């Protein structure tokens, strides 16, 4: 029934084992763990008993020590609800709530609210659930009742409910939560039901509509069993007539785990314990296939196939969640640039970079990445929902971060959105303009926070960028862009030697020459090819020295230590070639003054200008033996 | 399912519902013999039994049950008539 929760391999045995634990708080801890598994009404009752002593006797400190928020709920009803109460408490545990529940005397809700109930006052509920059946709200009307008369009767019935809501506030200072109505009576007219104003089906629908709009006006919350509790689950019906006649149980006991969760969600929303952030895996979660293997054009997304449509629909659902204020994040095992390329280049992506407040694609384990995502967005890991098609990743995160919600997913992505909706992670107690613009502000905040760190802590800022420098020998792929940079770069360009693509190719054919292209990516994106270095032996210098013929870099990545990382890479390559030193050259062009002391900054020593060199050129030398070239904050990957 | 197997399975259901692995029942066991077996627990026991054995009891059936022996016999009848 709780299909988003993982199945326990042997819940019965685990429950029996946990019952033997001596300390009530340890039993409570075990109950919290077991509450996070799919469970039927009987097992749910056992979890409740397991938690009971700890919940009742733990006191505020014990409750808080288990990460639970306390909340007092009174359930006032016109029908039997006792069979649902354990399930509410257990669902509470799974929503990190310690719920105390008071059940009003059967059928005496009106007296309790209008005349007062000392016991209820003593309990001091923070939330009062008003669970009524059709007959209690509006006894049936003759089938001939006109539309206008039905409207008048509905208005009167709802006015009565509003009076009760006011009493809940005035007398007990509690938040009213109105359960919507479910009509157990069978259809009278079939499809014609809706055309008869006083048919039971019409009346129930009309009442629920009126209840919803009154609640909206009055600030009451809804426990919308009409919409949220499915009418059927397998063989079982939401309202089982046998149980109704036997025990006046309106809600079928087999539905108790789900009903309990619906109540706990509302409680969690009120207590600010709803989830805040949806963290999405990418490959086979928001598109079909593996972008790293299949390429951007090879992933399955969008029109043309049922699977592609289903992934697109799931993306759209996530985008709608973002619209209502749920923060989106990405946690994917991928090369960052590859993952981002799909967002930037795939024409059918419904999710945009701008929807994602925090984008993490790397090869670190996902538990570590989820901690990092929570840290960057500045929320707790217990606010995260992590969606991943891979059961192994789900299991790892559940083990490492039990406070993260990790829904079980069906095999077919077509059901992903419904599954996440069923889990009720993002239940709300209000909807504000802030919610509607939250995602954008979180994304901006993350960047603002990074900018703030710049002012106070440069190292922290650079570390937070998570830069990765990918270095490749300039080959056919990078050559056009490298040539473009060689011919365009002015400011960060040590020698301003212009070369055509063909000249560049010819130079690099010489096996004694080195030519590297550098790509920098960071958590804000891939900066592409940002630097080019060409080095070669030169007749003016000893044979085992390498002259840095060309060194240029895009100014976009200035001040990030990319130069030092590039030098370290070059030095390694030069050492492999048997070079003893690097020779740096600076040729002023009138526009490259910013790099006049480039080599000094990197630890090179000035040397005399050799004869035959340009008069205004200056030279430096860096012996490679024992050179210490740290590259803090940048992970360098050299691809041969 | 033999009668012994039926009793074993039903005992398991009762132990789960009352959350007590020490409960032992026989044909003569009644609600008075088991702590907590009140009318609400009785409904839960019916529900759990229906789930465990995949059977459905009529409203008239479970009201007349006087002891575990009759309960198990009813389950057996349901299972054979399925």
pLDDT tens digit sequence for A347-397: 899 999 889 999 999 999 999 999 999 998 888 899 999 999 999 999 999
Average pLDDT, chain A: 91
Same domain, A353 and A394: yes
**Which pLDDT does position A448 carry in this prediction?**
44
Which residues in chain A are contacts of B21 at CB distance < 8 A?
A: 16, 19
**Reported confidence tier of residue A461, pLDDT bands at 50, 70, 90:** confident
| C-alpha neighbours within 13 Å on the C-beta side of residue A102 | 20
Nearest to A12 among B16, B40, B44 (CB): B16
CA distance A551 to A536: 12
**Which pLDDT does position A42 carry in this prediction?**
96
The fraction of chain A above a pLDDT of 90, given in percent, is 73
Radius of gyration of chain B (CA): 12
**Reported confidence tier of residue A460, pLDDT bands at 50, 70, 90:** confident
Contact B19 A247 (CB under 8 A): no
- Does residue A311 surpass a pLDDT of 60? yes
Q: Which residue of A has its CA nearest to B58?
A: A242
**Reported confidence tier of residue A437, pLDDT bands at 50, 70, 90:** low
Q: State the smallest CA–CA distance between residue B82 and chain A in angstroms.
A: 16
- Which among A158, A190, A171, A178 has a CA at the least distance from the CA of A78? A178
Examine residue A445 and state whether it is found in any structural domain, yes or no.
no
Contact B40 A82 (CB under 8 A): yes
Same domain, A301 and A224: no
**Reported confidence tier of residue A433, pLDDT bands at 50, 70, 90:** low
**Reported confidence tier of residue A457, pLDDT bands at 50, 70, 90:** low
**Which pLDDT does position A489 carry in this prediction?**
79
Mean pLDDT, range A507-526, rounded to an integer: 87
Across A446-553, the runs of DSSP E, i.e. the strands, are 467-473, 514-522, 525-536, 545-553
Q: Which of A270, A285, A309 is the last residue of a domain?
A: A270
Beta bridge partners of A328: A278, A356
Mean pLDDT, range B10-24, rounded to an integer: 93
Examine residue A440 and state whether it is found in any structural domain, yes or no.
no
**Which pLDDT does position A21 carry in this prediction?**
95
- Complex ipTM, two decimals? 0.93
Q: Which residue of A has its CA nearest to B21?
A: A16
pLDDT tens-digit readout, A96-128: 999 999 999 888 999 999 999 999 999 999 999
Q: What residues 6-65 of chain B have any CB closer than 8 A to a CB of chain A?
A: 13, 16-17, 19, 21, 39-40, 43-44, 47-48, 51, 57-59, 62-63
Same domain, A248 and A294: no
pLDDT tens-digit readout, B49-64: 999 999 999 888 877 8
Q: How many structural domains compose chain B?
A: 1
Contact A42 B59 (CB under 8 A): no
**Reported confidence tier of residue A186, pLDDT bands at 50, 70, 90:** very high
Examine residue A519 and state whether it is found in any structural domain, yes or no.
yes
Mean pLDDT, range B19-25, rounded to an integer: 92
Examine residue A533 and state whether it is found in any structural domain, yes or no.
yes
CA distance B75 to B81: 10
Same domain, A400 and A283: yes
CATH number assigned to the domain comprising residue B45? 1.10.1200.10
Q: State the smallest CA–CA distance between residue B59 and chain A in angstroms.
A: 6
Higher pLDDT, A278 or B78: A278
CA distances for A39 relative to A34, A435, A584, angstroms: 9, 33, 70
Cβ of residue B79 closer than 8 Å to a chain A Cβ: no
Q: State the smallest CA–CA distance between residue B2 and chain A in angstroms.
A: 23
CA distance A17 to A135: 45
The residue length of chain B stands at 82
- Does residue A440 surpass a pLDDT of 70? no
Residue A387 belongs to domain spanning: 277-423
Q: How many structural domains compose chain A?
A: 3
Q: State the smallest CA–CA distance between residue B35 and chain A in angstroms.
A: 14
Mean pLDDT, range B24-30, rounded to an integer: 93
Burial (CB < 10 A; 0-12, 13-18, 19+), residue A322, is buried
The fraction of chain A above a pLDDT of 70, given in percent, is 95
CA distance A198 to A75: 29
Nearest to A83 among B21, B40, B51 (CB): B40
**Which pLDDT does position A541 carry in this prediction?**
93
- Which among A611, A595, A583, A469 has a CA at the least distance from the CA of A529? A469
**Reported confidence tier of residue A201, pLDDT bands at 50, 70, 90:** very high
Which residues in chain A are contacts of B48 at CB distance < 8 A?
A: 41-42
Same domain, A167 and A185: yes
Q: What residues 460-519 of chain A have any CB closer than 8 A to a CB of chain B?
A: none
Whole-model pTM: value is 0.73
Contact B59 A242 (CB under 8 A): yes
Contact A40 B39 (CB under 8 A): no
Cβ of residue A19 closer than 8 Å to a chain B Cβ: yes
Cβ of residue A236 closer than 8 Å to a chain B Cβ: no
**Which pLDDT does position B62 carry in this prediction?**
79
- Does residue A313 surpass a pLDDT of 70? yes
Examine residue A213 and state whether it is found in any structural domain, yes or no.
yes
Examine residue A15 and state whether it is found in any structural domain, yes or no.
no
Same domain, A263 and A339: no
| C-alpha neighbours within 13 Å on the C-beta side of residue A259 | 28
Examine residue A27 and state whether it is found in any structural domain, yes or no.
no
Q: Which of A240, A270, A300 is the last residue of a domain?
A: A270
Q: What is the number of CB-based contacts under 8 A between chain A and chain B?
A: 46
Q: What residues 353-392 of chain A have any CB closer than 8 A to a CB of chain B?
A: none
Burial (CB < 10 A; 0-12, 13-18, 19+), residue A507, is middle
Contact A253 B47 (CB under 8 A): yes
**Reported confidence tier of residue A451, pLDDT bands at 50, 70, 90:** low
CATH number assigned to the domain comprising residue A415? 3.40.50.1000
pLDDT tens-digit readout, A9-22: 999 999 999 999 99
User: At how many degrees (to 10) do helices B39-53 and B3-18 cross?
Assistant: 130
- Considering A239-243, A453-457, A497-501, the range whose residues carry the highest mean pLDDT is A239-243
Contact B43 A245 (CB under 8 A): no
Examine residue A3 and state whether it is found in any structural domain, yes or no.
no
Q: What residues 250-279 of chain A have any CB closer than 8 A to a CB of chain B?
A: 253-254
- Does residue A254 surpass a pLDDT of 70? yes
Say whether A370 sits in a helix, a strand or coil.
Answer: helix
Q: Which residue of A has its CA nearest to B41?
A: A83
Mean pLDDT, range A255-276, rounded to an integer: 95
Mean pLDDT, range A608-636, rounded to an integer: 88
Q: State the smallest CA–CA distance between residue B45 and chain A in angstroms.
A: 9
Residue A580 tokens, joined = 């003893």
**Which pLDDT does position A452 carry in this prediction?**
47
**Which pLDDT does position B53 carry in this prediction?**
94
pLDDT tens-digit readout, A57-100: 888 888 888 889 999 999 999 999 999 999 999 999 999 999 99
Same domain, A121 and A234: yes
Same domain, A387 and A464: no
**Reported confidence tier of residue B6, pLDDT bands at 50, 70, 90:** very high
Contact B48 A42 (CB under 8 A): yes
Same domain, A197 and A291: no
Same domain, A527 and A507: yes
CA distance A610 to A483: 28
Q: Which residue of B has its CA nearest to A245?
A: B59
Which residues in chain B are contacts of A245 at CB distance < 8 A?
A: 59
Same domain, A259 and A402: no
pLDDT tens-digit readout, A560-569: 889 999 999 9
Residue B14 belongs to domain spanning: 3-80
Same domain, A538 and A503: yes
Residue A3 tokens, joined = 């299909």
Say whether B69 sits in a helix, a strand or coil.
Answer: helix
Residue B60 tokens, joined = 């008239």
């Amino acid at each position: 029934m709780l299909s988003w929760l993982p199945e326990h391999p042997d819940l019965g045995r685990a429950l029996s084992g946990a019952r033997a634990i001596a300390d009530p708080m340890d039993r409570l801890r075990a109950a919290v763990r077991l509450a996070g598994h799919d469970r039927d009404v009987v097992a749910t009752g056992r979890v409740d008993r397991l938690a009971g002593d700890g919940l009742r006797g733990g006191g505020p400190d014990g409750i808080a020590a288990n990460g639970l928020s306390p909340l007092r709920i009174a359930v006032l009803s016109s029908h039997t609800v006792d069979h649902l109460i354990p399930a509410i408490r257990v669902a509470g545990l799974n929503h990190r709530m310690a719920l105390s529940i008071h059940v009003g005397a059967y059928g005496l809700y009106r007296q309790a609210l209008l005349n007062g109930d000392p016991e209820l006052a003593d309990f001091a509920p923070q939330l009062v659930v008003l669970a009524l059946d059709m007959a209690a709200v509006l006894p049936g009307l003759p089938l001939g009742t006109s539309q206008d008369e039905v409207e008048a009767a509905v208005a009167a019935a709802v006015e009565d409910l509003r009076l009760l809501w006011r009493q809940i506030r005035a007398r007990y200072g509690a938040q009213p939560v109105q359960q919507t109505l479910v009509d157990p009576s069978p259809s009278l007219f079939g499809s014609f039901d809706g055309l008869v104003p006083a048919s039971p089906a019409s009346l129930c629908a009309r009442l629920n509509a009126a209840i919803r709009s009154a609640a909206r006006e009055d600030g009451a919350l809804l426990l919308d069993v009409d919409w949220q509790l499915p009418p059927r689950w397998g063989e079982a019906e939401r309202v089982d007539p046998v149980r109704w006649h036997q025990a006046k149980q309106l809600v079928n006991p087999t539905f108790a785990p789900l009903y309990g969760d619906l109540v706990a969600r509302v409680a969690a929303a009120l207590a600010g314990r709803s989830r805040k952030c949806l963290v999405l895996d990418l490959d086979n979660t928001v598109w079909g296939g593996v972008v790293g293997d299949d390429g951007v054009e090879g992933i399955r997304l969008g029109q043309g196939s049922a699977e592609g449509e289903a992934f697109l629909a799931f993306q759209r659902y996530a985008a709608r969640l973002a619209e209502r204020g749920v923060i989106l994040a990405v946690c994917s095992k991928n090369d960052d640039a590859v993952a981002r390329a799909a967002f930037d280049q795939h024409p059918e992506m419904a999710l945009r970079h701008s929807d994602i407040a925090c984008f993490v694609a790397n090869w670190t384990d996902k538990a570590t990445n989820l901690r990092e995502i929570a840290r960057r967005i500045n929320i707790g890991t217990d606010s995260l929902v992590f969606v991943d098609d891979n059961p192994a990743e789900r299991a790892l995160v559940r083990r490492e971060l039990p406070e993260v919600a990790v829904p079980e997913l069906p095999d077919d992505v077509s059901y992903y959105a419904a599954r996440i909706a069923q889990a009720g992670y993002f239940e709300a107690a209000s909807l504000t303009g802030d919610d509607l613009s939250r995602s954008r502000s979180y994304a901006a905040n993350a960047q603002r926070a990074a900018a703030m760190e710049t002012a106070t802590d440069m190292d922290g800022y650079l570390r937070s960028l998570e830069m990765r420098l990918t270095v490749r020998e300039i080959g056919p792929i990078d050559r056009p862009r490298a040539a473009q940079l060689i011919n365009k770069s002015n400011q960060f360009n040590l020698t301003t030697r212009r070369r055509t693509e063909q000249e560049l190719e010819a130079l690099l054919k010489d096996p004694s020459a080195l030519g590297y292209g550098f790509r920098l990516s960071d958590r804000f994106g891939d900066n592409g090819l940002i630097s080019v270095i060409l080095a070669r032996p030169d007749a003016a210098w000893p044979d085992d020295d390498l002259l840095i013929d060309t060194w240029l870099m895009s100014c976009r990545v200035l001040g990030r230590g990319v130069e030092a990382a590039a030098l370290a890479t070059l030095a390694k390559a030069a050492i492999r070639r048997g070079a003893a030193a690097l020779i740096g050259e600076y040729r002023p062009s009138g526009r490259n003054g910013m790099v006049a002391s480039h080599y000094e900054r990197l630890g090179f020593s000035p040397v005399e200008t050799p004869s035959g060199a340009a008069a205004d050129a200056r030279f430096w030398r860096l012996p490679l033996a024992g050179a210490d070239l740290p590259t803090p904050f940048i992970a360098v990957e050299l691809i041969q | 399912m033999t009668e012994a197997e039926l009793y074993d399975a039903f005992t398991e259901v009762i132990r789960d519902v009352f959350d007590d692995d020490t409960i032992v029942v026989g044909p003569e066991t009644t609600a008075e013999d088991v702590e907590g077996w009140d009318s609400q627990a009785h409904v839960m026991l019916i529900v759990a039994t229906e789930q465990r054995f995949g059977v459905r009891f009529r409203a008239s059936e479970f009201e007349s049950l006087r002891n575990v022996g009759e309960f198990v016999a009813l389950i057996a009848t349901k299972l054979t008539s399925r």
